[in-house]
Structure formats: C-alpha cells, structure tokens
Amino acid sequence: MRLGSLENLRSQLLEVTLALVVGFVGGALALTAFGYNAFENIQVMISYGFRDLGYLLLKSAPIVLTALAFLVPLKAGLFNIGGEGQLYAGAITALLLSKVGFYLAIPAGALAGLLVGVAIGLLRVVRGVNEVVSSIMFNWTLYYLSMFAIQRYLLDPVYTHQSIRVDRVLSLPEVAAVMLLSPLAVYLLLYNTELGYRIRVAGSSSRVARYAGVNLNIVTIRSMAMGGFLAGLGGAIQVYGVTTVVDTTLSSLYGLGFLGIGVALIARGNPLAVIPAAVLVSGLLIGSHWMELRGRVAPELADVVIGVVILALSAPYAYRVLASRMGWGVGGG
C-alpha cells in the first residue's frame, strides 16, 4: 500500500515537473516570437517573484481559499466557477462591516459567500439549473453590485478612486494561519468525516451514491455552501490582509476566483497541495509585474506567459477529471 502511494507520488511529481518545463518553454517561445529576450525575462520573473516570502504568502492566501472553494464541490462532482462572485460578496460584506470590527466583518464575509454558494446549489436542486450557468450569472451580478456598493456607500471622500479603509490590517502570522489551517481543515473534512465520505462518493458515481443511500441534493447544497464559505473568507482576507481597500473597478479582487480554479487543478485535487500551487502561481504573478518593469514586456504578453504555465500544469488533471465525468475510463482522482 505504501509502495503504491509512493509510486503514485513519484508519478505526480514527474508529471508536474515535466508540465512546468513545458509551460516555461511555451512562455519563452511566446516572448521570443515578439522580440523579447526570453531567458532574461523569465529569470527576472522567477528571481523577483519569489524574493519576498512575506508578501508572497499574503498574496497566496486568498488564492488558496478560492482554490479550496472550487475543490470541495469538485469532489462532489460539481463545478463551482462561482468562486469569483462569492469572493466579491465576502470582500464587500467585510468592507461594509469594517466599522463594526474585523471580529464580525471577516466571519460575515465568509457567511456572505456561503449564502451565494447555497443559492447556486438550490438552483441546481430545485430548478435543475446547471451550477456553471448560475455561477456565471452570479459572478457578473455580484461584480456590478460590488462596484455600485463601493461608489454609493463605501467611497473614500478623499481618494475617490477607492473605498474606505478597513479598521485594521491582519498581520502576516494571522493570514498565514488561515492559509495553512484552511487546507488542513478541508482535508480532514473530506477524508475523516461522514460528510466528506458522502461528498467523495457522490463525486465518484451518482449511481453508487444513490445505492449507498447518499442524498445527492443535500450533498450538492452542502458542498456548494462550503465552497462559498471558503471563497467568501478569501474575499475578506484579501481586504483585511492584503489590500485594506478596494478600488472602484475591483481590480484588486478581479480574477482571484478564476485563479483558484487553476490552482486547484495544479494541486491535482489535493487540499494540502493547494498551498504550494498557490505560492507558485502568486510568485509568477508578482514576477510578471517585475518582468513588465525591468524587461518592458507588455502586460498582455506577461499574462500569456503565466497562462501558458498554468495551462501546462493544470491540463493533465483537468483532462482526467473531464474524462471521468464523460465516462472515458480515466480516473479523476
């Protein structure tokens, strides 16, 4: 048993290593095609992206949570691409309640995300609306509602391009504790509780789940609720631990939910592996900004480099998940 697990770990490490090489080679080809020095710019991305460990951990924490927000429903056979909207809900709710205090604001942000997740789950259970469709609708609805809330109720009277500032800033140890404990809690829930067993059975086969007496409707709602809770917490942590404000265009929030999907796939569906995957992606993001400054690389091209690396890392597991859902005889893990 241990030998099999060790061999599986080795194969996954080899797969990730090869995918990482392919990703950087693809990014280098993209840079070269547009006349940039690929070696120098990728060197800048790596050396500067992972230089400041504290900032790297702060940037990674919300992405860890949005990755978990996708991973938990995925284990139940659901695609929660609504982590983006759930993160908006958590961030804006935490900001609204910041005058009351962060002891209430952060849990309220997580609860706001949970409610969005429950709404998506109920639409699937009660009305048969696919969670992908409803998630997209909620993402855009919450995006514009968040912009309205900032400009109408939360605008800073001095710096009118951003919201008011939160009442306090979480320290690095506080953010790191959330970042480290959340994946551990999700792992224990999935693999050491009855609810986690039901989630995994529902995700492996709905027919087997029904035969085992698993109520798929309840599992759907609970897994989406947990996903929403985690994404909402990510939004609250982003506001209280990273930015302290939200600009009127939501640029400090935009994309974190979608990045979480890629991170969850890079982690191969393992809650504990979400941490190094998020740190890797965050380092690439930080490094891409330095690549723009030092190498004069266009922001769009820097995004292409990151996108190619993430795609190369996540594609193998994404294929296995899709193959499992489509019945192609490949395990999703």
Residue 3 lies in a domain: no
| Residue 331 pLDDT greater than 60, yes or no | no
Q: Measured between alpha carbons, how far is 333 from 321 in angstroms, rounded to an integer?
A: 7
**3-state SS assignment for residue 37:** coil
> Of the ranges 195-209, 215-229, 231-245, 319-333, which one carries the lowest mean pLDDT score?
319-333
CA triplet 242, 307, 44: central angle to 5 degrees? Answer: 70
Mean pLDDT of 122-136: 94
Rg, C-alpha atoms of the chain: 20
pLDDT score of 5 more than 70: no
Task: Please check the confidence at residue 321 and state whether its pLDDT lies above 80.
Answer: no
pLDDT band at 167 (very low <50, low <70, confident <90, very high): confident
Average pLDDT score over residue span 45-73:
94
Asked if the structure places residue 215 within a domain, the reply is: yes
Please report the DSSP string for 83-106 in residue order. Answer: HHHHHHHHHHHHHHTTTT-HHHHH
> Residue 25 belongs to what domain range?
18-326
Which residues are CB-contacts of 95 (< 8 A; sequence separation ≥ 6)? 105, 150, 154, 163, 164, 166, 239, 246
Q: Which residue has the tokens 């910041």?
A: 98
Q: Which of 5-19, 207-221, 242-256 has maximum average pLDDT? A: 242-256
How far is CA 220 from its chain centroid? 19
What tokens were used for 36? 């940039």
Is there a contact between 240 and 166 (Cβ–Cβ < 8 Å)? yes
Residue 146 lies in a domain: yes
Residue 231 lies in a domain: yes
Length of the chain: 333
Query: Has residue 115 been placed in a domain?
Result: yes
| Tens digit of each residue's pLDDT (9 = 90 or more) over 130-153 | 999 999 999 999 999 999 999 999
| Number of structural domains found in the chain | 1
**Domain with 193 in it: what CATH number?**
1.10.3470
Q: What are phi and psi of 98, to 5 degrees?
A: -65, -30
Does pLDDT of 207 surpass 90?
no
Chain segment 65-109, per-residue pLDDT in tens: 999 999 999 999 999 999 999 999 999 999 999 888 888 999 999
Angle, CA of 72, 327 and 324, to the nearest 5°: 30
- Whether residue 83 is contained in a domain is answered as yes
5 domain residue, yes or no: no
Q: Residue 330 — pLDDT band, cuts 50, 70, 90?
A: very low
Q: Classify residue 8: in a domain, yes or no.
A: no
User: Around Cβ 28, how many Cβ atoms within 10 Å?
Assistant: 18
* d(C-alpha 42, C-alpha 213), whole Å: 52
Please write the tens of the pLDDT for every residue from 245-294.
Answer: 999 999 999 999 999 999 999 998 899 999 999 999 999 999 999 998 98
